[in-house]
Amino acid sequence: MRYGKLTAVGMVMAAGLGVLSSAPSGQGLDYVRASYTKYEYRIPMRDGVTLFTAVYVPRAPGPAYPILLNRTPYSVAPYGPDAYKSSLGPSDLFTREGYIFVYQDVRGRMMSEGQYEDVRPYKPVKAGPTDIDESTDTWDTIDWLVRNIPNNNGRVGLYGISYPGFYTSMGMIDAHPALKAASPQAPIADWFIGDDFHHNGALYLPHAFNFFSGFGRPRPEPTTNSGSRFDYGTEDGYGFYLKMGPMPNVNALYFKDGIRFWNDLMAHETYDAFWQARNVRPHLKDIAPAVLTVGGWFDAEDLFGALETYKSVERQSPRTVNTLVMGPWIHGGWARTDGDLLGDVRFGSKTGPFFREQIEFPFFQHHLKGKPDPKLPEAYVFETGRNEWRRLDAWPPKQATTTSLYLHAGGRLGFEPPSEGEAFDEYISDPTRPVPYINHTSVTMTREHMVDDQRFAAARADVLTYRTDVLAEDVTMAGPIRPRLHVSTSGTDSDFVVKLIDVYPAPDRVPGAGAQSGRPSRMEGYQQLVRGEAMRGKFRTSYEKPEPFVPDQATRVEYVMPDVYHTFRRGHRIMVQIQSSWFPLVNMNPQTFCNINTASPSDFRKATQRVYRGRTTASQIVLSVLNGRER
């Protein structure tokens, strides 16, 4: 087979500058230039399409090096054999150690040939020898690299964060024999059920709008231009999206039918074959390479994907070396931040460097260079609230038990079920005045909203608030959270948003509160969001076949929120808030049963919402808890 390449340099690697230096982190571009030689290739796939690939090879002579591959839709820039990245690999530890670093524009993006397809579906059965998906493109790339890049040791590692995490997951399927280790980090798993643009069928409007307004623009020919951001003309996202109105106005006012995947998103309002084909989870079986799945407890984008990728591999590939890492991080924060704080919340240590030095680097070193086994646990997870790392032999922890927090009269929350007869609390949900998801302005989905103070929401009449008494002892939640609500609406559809909140003491006079005892005064009375999630009510029994509500009839709505590992400290309270809008984070439900993506202004109506808390209709939050020091 003929292999094309962009550089005129042969396959002889540049002679060395001696061994790679132990340069400190942050030496940047000068260090990379001095230590590596860059090559650019067009690697052919089995159907003849070539993918643009940048390869950085250590200048130092010595033992053969493993390959670390990153496949991305976001550009391998800078382009040109003399234009170098200022950092290589997952962290500077890898740059100093010496690896062959490979970056590839995926099919149809930037400088690669072919047609791009968002979250291109995996094909379990190929139509012929030239049929492709992201798994075959990864296989063909690895095969070319190990055959054509001199001085490689025949071992390849694959990694990526977010969308590149999706390509990592796809590359693990039907993997090339040389692929020995893979780390999908914040990987996309399912864009309808829980990742990025939909949560339980509810559209995360500013995230989808902001992403596709730039990323979704067509690319007729290969280009090094990554496009431009949308100009909102304001910082007031709440006002921008409220003024924009129903979903058809996105195209009418802004996109003009020019963004293909936005049109696909609007055309598929239910969990139909289009979305099901893009669900990665069923295909994560018989995985051969060792897997290190990484996620952040406060990742607003792909928390679902990290947890579900790990669980899917664990369930369907029981013999695979499969480790989960979850820290107190935003999207990708483990790779680029100290990870010691988010917004007003402090975590007591630099969790980012700890991950990079003690977990990620030893994982790849062992599997790609044969260094000592770091003996990582099944799950390396950070317990927020107590602010400590835990090494567990399973996730969720095997010793966790199930209990429920019940809603009671007077806004009380307790572990005992209600004893009264039929009872409920109610509020009016008004589409013209939806509950904001933050108490400040932003046109994008903020990172900090995952831990933001919820006192502004508790003050609203259209938010029901329930809280426990002051806790006499720590309560540790470890695993998924399952709202089990009995509700009614005067309309025929409704969203229900449940928020689990840690209420700090006010004032702080709790002795023996450990790391919390030194909290700054701004945290007194703070209502920290621990987990929040929306459920589009019409999908309560099926994502494929939505059903209207019968007006004013009590109906059960139950769903699963992403896992937590959080300790509510002694002296704190546990709070639950329930509401029917979370705007503009979640696009507004008209509260009339219809296709929301084609709804008209007349479909949007006020609705009276009731949340029941009687003996036979006991609304509750089902939790997995750990007793005492069972961690």
| CA 317 to chain CA mean position, Å | 22
One-character DSSP codes across 393-428: SSSS-TT-EEEEEEEEGGGEEESSPP-SSS-EEEEE
Cα separation, 141 vs 53, in Å, equals 9
> pLDDT tier at 61 (50, 70, 90 boundaries)?
confident
Which pLDDT value is given to residue 362? 98
The pLDDT tens digits of the residues spanning 426-457 come to 999 999 999 999 999 999 999 999 999 999 99
Which pLDDT value is given to residue 512? 45
Is 13's pLDDT higher than 70? no
Which pLDDT value is given to residue 20? 40
- Residue 161's SS3 state is strand
Which pLDDT value is given to residue 99? 97
**16 falls within a domain:** yes
Is 611's pLDDT higher than 50? yes
3-state helix, strand, coil in the chain (%, to 5): 25, 30, 50
Cα separation, 474 vs 589, in Å, equals 38
> pLDDT tier at 2 (50, 70, 90 boundaries)?
very low
The pLDDT tens digits of the residues spanning 130-187 come to 999 999 999 999 999 999 999 999 999 999 999 999 999 999 999 999 999 999 999 9
Q: Are 44 and 1 in contact (CB under 8 A)?
A: yes
Give percent above pLDDT 70 in the chain.
93
| CA 593 to chain CA mean position, Å | 29
Which pLDDT value is given to residue 627? 81
Mean pLDDT over residues 536-553, rounded? 98
- Residue 193's SS3 state is coil
Which pLDDT value is given to residue 19? 35
> pLDDT tier at 401 (50, 70, 90 boundaries)?
very high
> pLDDT tier at 244 (50, 70, 90 boundaries)?
very high
Mean pLDDT over residues 92-113, rounded? 97
Please tell me what DSSP assigns to residue 374: -
Written as six digits, the tokens of 82 are 């003399």
> pLDDT tier at 598 (50, 70, 90 boundaries)?
very high
Which pLDDT value is given to residue 434? 98
Which pLDDT value is given to residue 629? 52
pTM: 0.94
Chain-wide mean pLDDT for the chain? 93
Is 394's pLDDT higher than 90? yes
**112 falls within a domain:** yes
Mean pLDDT over residues 24-35, rounded? 80
474's CB contacts (< 8 A; 6+ apart) are 386, 567, 568, 569, 570
**222 falls within a domain:** no
**483 falls within a domain:** no
Is 572's pLDDT higher than 90? yes
| CA 619 to chain CA mean position, Å | 29
Give percent above pLDDT 90 in the chain.
90
Question: Domain total for the chain?
Answer: 1
Written as six digits, the tokens of 167 are 């390509």
**417 falls within a domain:** no
Mean pLDDT over residues 289-308, rounded? 98
> pLDDT tier at 628 (50, 70, 90 boundaries)?
low
Written as six digits, the tokens of 32 are 């990379």
Which pLDDT value is given to residue 508? 45
Q: Say which CATH number the domain at 134 has.
A: 3.40.50.1820
Which pLDDT value is given to residue 603? 98
> pLDDT tier at 62 (50, 70, 90 boundaries)?
confident
**94 falls within a domain:** yes
17-21, 118-122, 475-479 — which is least confidently predicted? 17-21
Please tell me what DSSP assigns to residue 371: P
The pLDDT tens digits of the residues spanning 516-539 come to 445 557 899 999 999 999 999 999
Cα separation, 502 vs 286, in Å, equals 40
Comparing 62 with 493, which gets the higher pLDDT?
Answer: 493
Q: Which of 393, 323, 336 is nearest to 362 (CA)?
A: 323
Q: Are 300 and 330 in contact (CB under 8 A)?
A: yes
> pLDDT tier at 227 (50, 70, 90 boundaries)?
confident
Crossing angle of the two packed helices 303-316 and 163-172, in degrees rounded to 10: 10
Which pLDDT value is given to residue 506? 84
* C-alpha dist (Å) from residue 432 to 241, 246, 589, 590: 11, 11, 11, 10
**491 falls within a domain:** no
Q: For residue 551, is the peptide bond before it cis, meaning its omega torsion is within 30 degrees of 0? A: no
Which pLDDT value is given to residue 226? 80
Q: Which domain holds residue 59?
A: 4-185+280-339+348-383
**327 falls within a domain:** yes
